[in-house]
Amino acid sequence: MHPSDAARILFGGAADLRRVTPAEVKSAFRRRVRLLHPDSARSAVHHSGEAVSSLVSARDILIEHLQTAQKPAAPTAQPRPTATSTVYPRPTIVKPVRPVVEKINKKEHERYYTGVFPTYKLKFGQFLYFAGEVSWQDLVRAMRWQRDQRPAYGEIAKAWGWLSDKDIQAIRAATELPGMFGERAVSLGLLTEKQASFLVRHQHHSQPRLGGYFVQERILLPNDVTRLLTAMQRHNTSISRGTGPVPPFNPAGFVR
């Protein structure tokens, strides 16, 4: 998606990308998402996950475009002096030294997987664990961090006018009903199954990526996350085609 197309999706028309700020992009994203609930949507297509995915992609592309545009331009090459021109000493350019970020060593008292690599599709956290990159305890901590960072299910429904504070209290109090918050809301007749499904998709799109935790805690480096995401996609594609699992390879060249 081109940034200009992303701007049209979020702002509903032509936008001057030289004047748009990341804060305005995020504000437009939240405003567009609120318009997707049935009281505001004009057609059934707005209720699908594709509409939310389109908005999320447009937001990410615009923010990345703006951050890239704000980076200082690379110095242009200076013309070589001619025989008749005065030669001045070239100034010394001191490049800033970036701090070296190193991974922490594996934790001796935590459990790392060493068995046979699975022969089914994996999510990223599972892939990291079975590849021996993170411990079971680190995976649990990452999932808890991701859960705590995502917006609350009930608060999203309240912002869209689907639930009131009284409804939310009633759902939380209905502990005799099986299932999670959304399933209880459907059982009580406070949400439809379609609304509950849409809220789950929106909550999933709004939560931070699991790899962010491992980078933050220096368990993995950013380039490790990129490499392992590619390896996971290769593994899942191979499973879908029926050609078997594709375990990740370490730098030494042998399978983990």
DSSP symbols for 61-75 = HHHHHHHHHTSPPPP
Taking only the tens place, the pLDDT of each residue in 102-136 is 677 778 889 999 888 898 989 999 999 999 999 99
Tokens 């002096």 — which residue? 81
Q: Record the pTM.
A: 0.50
What number is the average pLDDT over the span 47-63? Answer: 74
Domain boundaries, the chain: 3-67, 107-150+208-256, 157-206
Q: Tell whether the model's pLDDT for residue 169 goes beyond 80.
A: yes
3-67 topology per CATH: Helix Hairpins (1.10.287)
Of 200, 198, 199, 168, residue with least CA distance to 184: 168
